Structure 1
Amino acid sequence: MQMAFVPEASDPGQGVATFLGTGTSVGVPAIGCDCEVCQSNDPKNNRTRCAITVRLPGGTLLIDTPPDLRHQLIRERIRLIHAVLYTHEHADHLFGLDDLRLMPFRLGHPVPMYCTEVVERQIRAAYSYAFSDREDTHPGATPKLEPVRIDESPQSILGVRVLPIPMKHGPHFDVFGYRIGDFAYCTDTNSIPAASIERLRGVRTFVVGALRDEPHPTHFNIDQAIEVARKVGAERTLLTHTGHQLEYSVTNSRLPDGIEMAFDGLQVPIVLESASA
């Protein structure tokens, strides 16, 4: 492998979140759909599967590995991922993992992969070849990953404090959102418990999933996302994991002040909290 890559120096108290994808599990446009949003020429109605990167002084943290990952990283000119953090184990947040195969060449070591036991178990089942004892036929034949088990306690990742936000995603799935400094990312949920709302107090930017106007059994709809945003009280709320029922400009025109739809490529500054704080 090549020598380890050293990230460029930056302000240790500042970070930047980049929305790689803001769409539903099938993306927008959806395959075979002729609706107005899927046929729109507005690039903000073109939404790939959900993920973000957070540029930190210690490197770039990727949250989730969606199936569109290769395209997303090339589009945003992100050359290197230093660590991956998972919200949950669903396919639209997991099945771009193989696109990380190039990263260990530049890092000089396996990619740290922060996840719960449930997520790690799913990754090992879906990507069993990445954890085989069989010797690789050539460098880069399989992803080189280093699972790091997490729970709901604060985590130190790339030198900053990351606080998991326990949430529910329908009746069967426990998932995590994450708070990083004054920024919180809470996609794929339809219930954020009171104790988790307390973990979100003081964030300036709150990202939350809002699938559509109609109710859904596993996701917040627009009205529910607005309600939880008011509980959190952030200066700015960004809606992600939005479906093709929501046209970007029309939806934004009717949202309350301080709440808007996110879009692929959107960048948000973050004030960080060091891991030692």
Structure 2
Amino acid sequence: MKIGFIGCGNMASAMIGGILEKGICSKQEIIVSNRTVEGNERSKKNLGVNVTLDNCQVVRETKTVVLAVKPQFYEEVIAQVKGLITEKHVIISIAPGKTLRWLEEKFGKPVKIVRTMPNTPALVGEGMTGVCANSYVQDIEMAGIKEILGSFGRYEVIPERLMDVVVSVSGSSPAYVFMFIEAMADAAVADGMPRAQAYEFAAQAVMGSAKMVLETGKHPGELKDMVCSPGGTTIEAVRQLEKGGFRSSIIEAMKACVEVGRKM
């Protein structure tokens, strides 16, 4: 399998890292395009893959093409390459807000399109990706896409109507989690813990808690109750969080995220 990436920022680099680590492709079977010579030099140095400044070359040399540019550049890039897209190509989108219908309209002809929403934990092999496809994508092709997505984390096939929700619950949510870790570390520092140590304690607590949700299958509320002893320290911390509108703030932030995603 040869794979092409139009754009090679953090998300594309994370995907390529997983693909290489799992042996889905060799470095020689991947080509990426960047807007600048400096970008190509960075991709070549960090990933060891083939590089080009020509988006059309990526399409000519591969049949699986990942559109890994920012959403505002999608229309421009599609206009450049659509004349080279054939019935043998599969296009993978990673942009929020760009629906399958919108993408099909911009290509102006029947094109196999897979819409995905990965997240930055893919950089460490712990990504979460939502995925859906149009009717032109065959089962065998979808199996290959799933193999790619599984190389850098977990994935779930979902109806497209939920893709904007995926943006808020996993695509953007690492930022909320990082803020949470930072806040916990700040509090620990305020109480005398060295900052590097505080980050380690906070980050490990978040990672371990997430693993408990995934591996025990227990409801998060049940797991929370397991930590809250009557009259203890944890329930007092929970009381203060609720007093400050902790859960409501998260819900409202995520709803705002969905609304922005739908307008992109």
- Using the size of structure 1 for normalisation, the TM-score is 0.30
Return the index of the structure with the highest Cα Rg: 2
Richer in helix (by share): 2
Richer in strand (by share): 1
Q: Which has the higher contact order (CA 8 A, sep 6+)?
A: 1
